[in-house]
Structure 1
Amino acid sequence: MKPVKLPNEIDVLIATKPENVRYLSGFTAPEDGLVVLGREGATLFTDARYAEQAPAESRVPVEIVNPREGYGFLRPHIEGLRVGYEARHMPCALKARIEAEAGAALLPTEGVVERARMIKSPEELDRIATAARIADEGYAHLLPRVAPGTRELDLALELEFWMRRHGAERAAFDFIVASGPRGALPHGVASTKRLEQGELVTFDFGAVVDGYHSDMTRAVALGPVDAELRRIFEVVEAALEAALEAAGPGVAARELDAVARDVIERAGYGPRFVHSLGHGVGLEVHEAPFLNARSEDVLEPGMVVTLEPGIYLPGKGGVRLEELVHVTARGIEVLSRAPRGWLEV
């Protein structure tokens, strides 16, 4: 894992965000722990339920404590120091308790651990690639079952069950299966709607392996579809191809977003591309860097990001195509390998 650099204004950081606790320690129940990170190392704190599990999993020293009795156990680790906390993630009530019981005023920080998490180690890349492979294979398993009369929800369940039977610990998120007019919903999670002939269906899904996510989107036609739906598929595919061609180390995230957006705008569908081009993927399915018009991020080797342009036509349908990409020293490696071209079933 990449070392975490503390800001100059703090001596130690109290990390409570579960993904950051796991990153710093390796502990697989991070929602029940916190980490105190200093310049000389880190300590994981958790309760007696994990007295055997935590030392077996953690890369850093472990202290078994009882938070119900208060947070005085932190005092020896933070007293007299400038102590940072994760302002976006620590509840106000917890901050107040720690300040009162551990004798330290906490200073707000943002993104300290997340900045390190943007660059994946070879081990992290292997887990993400494995999750992507399972998703690819699950999609191949699912395609013969995509037919008129099938419920969106049943397809989502079949895909999740298959992936879990073949190595995924869980689904990366609530799968999107959006058919017909529901395709205009960018986050149209699977419903009880039944697929119909002549519809376009969006599938957005991913697997989790050892805590690391994959993310991919494909679109499938149930036989011939309306000409405009075929047209927006072609535009989205062209936007994705342009983004893939432009992506690589040193490319600004906002510039990459603009590359894809320009293709869609020139085709006359600019207002129908209603979200950013993509995001980082790792311990979270949506994490830094973020690929949008306001981003200050720049792609670097070791990052894993999605590229996912889309067009959504209210009342009619929509298309999104998404690839999972590893940024390398020389360019990119596409981790999601399932065919993304036009497909009628």
Structure 2
Amino acid sequence: MNRLEKVVNLLKDNNLDAIYLTNPSNVNYITGYTDEEAYALISKYGNFVITDTRYIELAESLCKDFEIINWHLFDRSIPKTLKEVCIKTNIKKLGFEKNNIIFDNYNTLKCELEPEGIHLIPSENIVEELRYIKTQDEIDNTKKACMIADKSLEELIPHIKIGVTESELAAKLEYFMKINGANQVGFDTILVSGTKTSLLHGKPSDKVLENGDLLIIDYGANYNGYISDTTRTFIIGSANERQLELYNLVKEAQLVGLENMKPGVHATHPDTKIREVVKKYEDNYYRGLGHGVGRDLHEEPFLGNYGTKTIKEGCIITMEPGIYFPGWGGVRIEDTVLITKGGNEILTKFPKDLMILDKQ
């Protein structure tokens, strides 16, 4: 059963005639469309990709199992386009992705559709449930993204020196990823040093690297729509005892987390085990331990004491414990991990032994 057939079956389970997909990752996953400004309508009566004049040729070449609709031909109105498609196919109960539509758009759709007896029904996670376990093709693309990321960070290492700015290093890393085959970067690169390493999602700036700085690099490559996610922490010039203690503790915590990532384990379990390791600094331990990664950077399952899912074979998840002290700095180590039948496979291979760069 292909993805399209699975969605149609889920429509029956949710008492829907059709679903209107607006999340770009879901549209791409179901239709194979790879560019922007496209939506999909999936039904037991027919399947449609809705885009505009700029992308019609591309959509026709990629989406062979779909009728391509140009919304520019319907007064340049997507609500009017949907109305015509629903009337044509006798759709009365139209699901929509409630987490991916703003109220104004919903209101416009409702005003256009409901007078025709077409009822909008909020839905959630219909396609995301299919994306939870990755196919072999998805795994292969993620592995390639991880290989590109590993190689690019390796090439960046000789450039990490005292006096270089964070922004310059971030730009070089993103350049290396694209040269090495990434379609684009997976997300905005986090590359921060010194006391800024306590900022979990700090932005690169014109701050220069200094002797004794911690350096956190959190980055990823996007290959064929699939994202890698890696974090490594380095020390510049010379290290002090507190930095060494914290690095070794986080490294141990990550190892424990990895040992507790396997099929059948609840998403809260690795966090419980890691807290036993970091209990001395538990108040400074960030509970966002990991997340699924695929077409989106953050997908289910989310690991931590708030997790709700069970880890399954074929999930791809990050493991990224970190400890942070505001005004002093922090340490994080992260890998992208495939859950296998017997446990897991770490897909990001860059070494995790502490590297002290540009030693004094």
Q: State whether TM-score is above 0.5.
A: yes
Moved more, 306-315 or 105-114: 105-114
In 2, Cα distance between equivalents of 1:231 and 1:180:
16
Which of the residues 52, 56, 80 maps onto 1:51?
56
Q: Structure 2 counterpart of 1:216, which letter?
A: T
Q: 1:229·1:317 contact (CA, 8 Å) conserved in 2?
A: no
Q: CA deviation at 1:261?
A: 2.7
Residue aligning to 1:34: 39
In 1, Cα distance between equivalents of 2:297 and 2:56:
29
Q: Does 1:327 align with 2:342?
A: no
Q: Does 1:206 align with 2:230?
A: no
Q: Structure 2 counterpart of 1:201, which letter?
A: L
In 2, Cα distance between equivalents of 1:302 and 1:33:
28
Residue aligning to 1:222: 236
* Cα distance change of structure 1 residues 253 and 59 upon mapping to structure 2, 3 Å threshold: farther
Q: CA deviation at 1:100?
A: 2.9
In 1, Cα distance between equivalents of 2:69 and 2:91:
23
Q: 2:218·2:231 contact (CA, 8 Å) conserved in 1?
A: yes
Q: Give SS of 1:253's match.
A: coil
In 2, Cα distance between equivalents of 1:292 and 1:39:
39
Map 1:98-247 onto structure 2 (within 5 A): 98-102=109-113, 103=116, 104-247=118-261
* Cα distance change of structure 1 residues 64 and 243 upon mapping to structure 2, 3 Å threshold: same
Q: 1:15·1:85 contact (CA, 8 Å) conserved in 2?
A: yes
Q: Does 1:291 align with 2:299?
A: no
In 2, Cα distance between equivalents of 1:256 and 1:79:
49
Which of the residues 56, 65, 69 maps onto 1:64?
69
Q: 1:253·1:290 contact (CA, 8 Å) conserved in 2?
A: yes
Identity of aligned residues (%): 34
Moved more, 196-205 or 32-41: 32-41
Q: Does 1:93 align with 2:98?
A: no
Q: CA deviation at 1:121?
A: 0.9
Once the two structures are superposed, residues 5-58 of structure 1 have per-residue CA deviations (whole angstroms, 9 ceiling, x without a partner) of 3343323211111111111101112x4111112257632121221121001112
In 2, Cα distance between equivalents of 1:36 and 1:280:
26
The number of aligned residues is 342
Residue aligning to 2:349: 337
Residue aligning to 1:18: 24
Residue aligning to 2:85: 74
* Cα distance change of structure 1 residues 264 and 59 upon mapping to structure 2, 3 Å threshold: farther
What value does the CA root-mean-square deviation take over the aligned residues? 1.7
Q: Does 1:251 align with 2:265?
A: yes
Q: Structure 2 counterpart of 1:271, which letter?
A: D
In 2, Cα distance between equivalents of 1:124 and 1:41:
26
Which of the residues 314, 317, 325 maps onto 2:329?
317
* Cα distance change of structure 1 residues 312 and 247 upon mapping to structure 2, 3 Å threshold: same
Residue aligning to 1:272: 284
* Cα distance change of structure 1 residues 318 and 36 upon mapping to structure 2, 3 Å threshold: same
Q: 1:54·1:62 contact (CA, 8 Å) conserved in 2?
A: no
Q: Give SS of 1:37's match.
A: strand
Once the two structures are superposed, residues 60-119 of structure 1 have per-residue CA deviations (whole angstroms, 9 ceiling, x without a partner) of 313222252433333236645322111110122222333333331211111111111111
Q: CA deviation at 1:264?
A: 1.3
Once the two structures are superposed, residues 270-290 of structure 1 have per-residue CA deviations (whole angstroms, 9 ceiling, x without a partner) of 111124110011111111111
Q: 1:260·1:277 contact (CA, 8 Å) conserved in 2?
A: no
Q: Structure 2 counterpart of 1:96, which letter?
A: N
Q: Which runs of 5 or more structure 1 residues have no equivalent in the other structure?
A: none
Q: Give SS of 1:52's match.
A: helix
In 2, Cα distance between equivalents of 1:77 and 1:337:
52
In 1, Cα distance between equivalents of 2:155 and 2:239:
23
Q: 1:26·1:59 contact (CA, 8 Å) conserved in 2?
A: no
Q: Which runs of 5 or more structure 2 residues have no equivalent in the other structure?
A: none
